[in-house]
Structure 1
């Protein structure tokens, strides 16, 4: 009905959003990526925690993040219930935009930068909510359930319903039944059938470069179907120019044309039966990857690569330690 009203009136009624500032301070450990940060945030605040909010990501970690890393977090704000996620524009933002197609030039560039600077939150402003997270709390993170908030660190165990809040037990039991996982077991070592690196969340050039730099000399485990799908045609072109497609193919991954692919079971890229997929995408809902009984575990691209090589959920820090 909302789509009907939008098309009929060309307008949409929106309530004014509250703003939650989420600061992540300190320095991330090696092997911890932007995907781990946003999965940790959603785990902490819940998939409905952002309802009615805009998320402003800030702090030392986001200051150091590249634009593409910032995009990974902002991209998944909606999975945390927020209407929008953003990082205040800064010099890193402006340099990322400089010289790109359709970017302003010459005097218009200087005028635009001044305008963009005005979009940033005022110093000393108040927020509707403030969440502060220390970077050393965050480890490589993997979802075990049927929404992005049902996640644990790689060295943790799958939750035991009786040890959780009473209000969460029904959803935990539902997730465990669907995912065919046993409560209390380590998440590490869970066998996988499919590995997918791609999507608008983690199919960017920097994601592919990071994985390619680690997997030389490794091979996808027999019996695992592993595919890599660049997030756009531009990313695909640049990756091929850098020879990344050959690195992945040499390791046993299939290199595909750019697109959505297995993120939402586009074209033939679908799970079969109850296959379990280690995926760098953004949603792990029931049936998301094509099969009504297919199972999805979200993680960073390098964690997906580690799972593809070992055939099970693994700690990429140990697999690629050399």
Structure 2
């Protein structure tokens, strides 16, 4: 069975995974129509289980920003200053040493292209956390829960470890026993930002079918996802002529990516893969490669069945 093959891919690298892959429907401009057009053919491995989605939540965040921009509720050129107090460390403005000023639309660009956490926090403050939650409900993502932005997640980790700041956390965290590390709320889908693989592919399908909002807003999200610089997960499982637009997410022991792959013949497929490793290393190249391999297997199965084979 295709599901067993996918589980074996992850077992070989010491991981367990949840996956959902499905063809992307044609553009309809209606969330209900887009959902109804989905066929029954899919690849599902624990697709309805709750999973931590980490930075994949930024897809919803940027979609809400794009919708508000199209509606004229905010000016995407509005300037924002990223200060020392805003920096969380990591990629983009989150790791800058000096203050940076940029537009809201550039915050969206950095949040998607390099998963900039500071950019995501500032964008979330502008569009509103409650609004993002309402958007998830509007799109029928009934089990998707957004508890806050990157700063809220970081602060919860600091509190659980008893650290006053990131520097103290960096000293204390490595010394914790694995059982204590695994018990952190940010790693438990019952207590943090979470969804299911099926709901994430639904979100992607709605965006790709122009059913998640105005076509201009959906197109903006698709464009930003195509600019992601990380190519070591989903993209690694497909030939060079297949385009991949996606968003990664990473936490200790959690490696994930969700996106849409498009073949030269026009075939599009939404894929969401969430891998949990037995160790808590933040970097596991073999697991990243397994995400791509499993995605390639899943989409290969869907493509083989397009003509009823």
Structure with larger RCO (C-alpha < 8 A, sep 6+): 2
TM above 0.5, yes or no, is no
TM-score (norm: length of structure 2): 0.26
TM-score (norm: length of structure 1): 0.26
Larger radius of gyration: 1
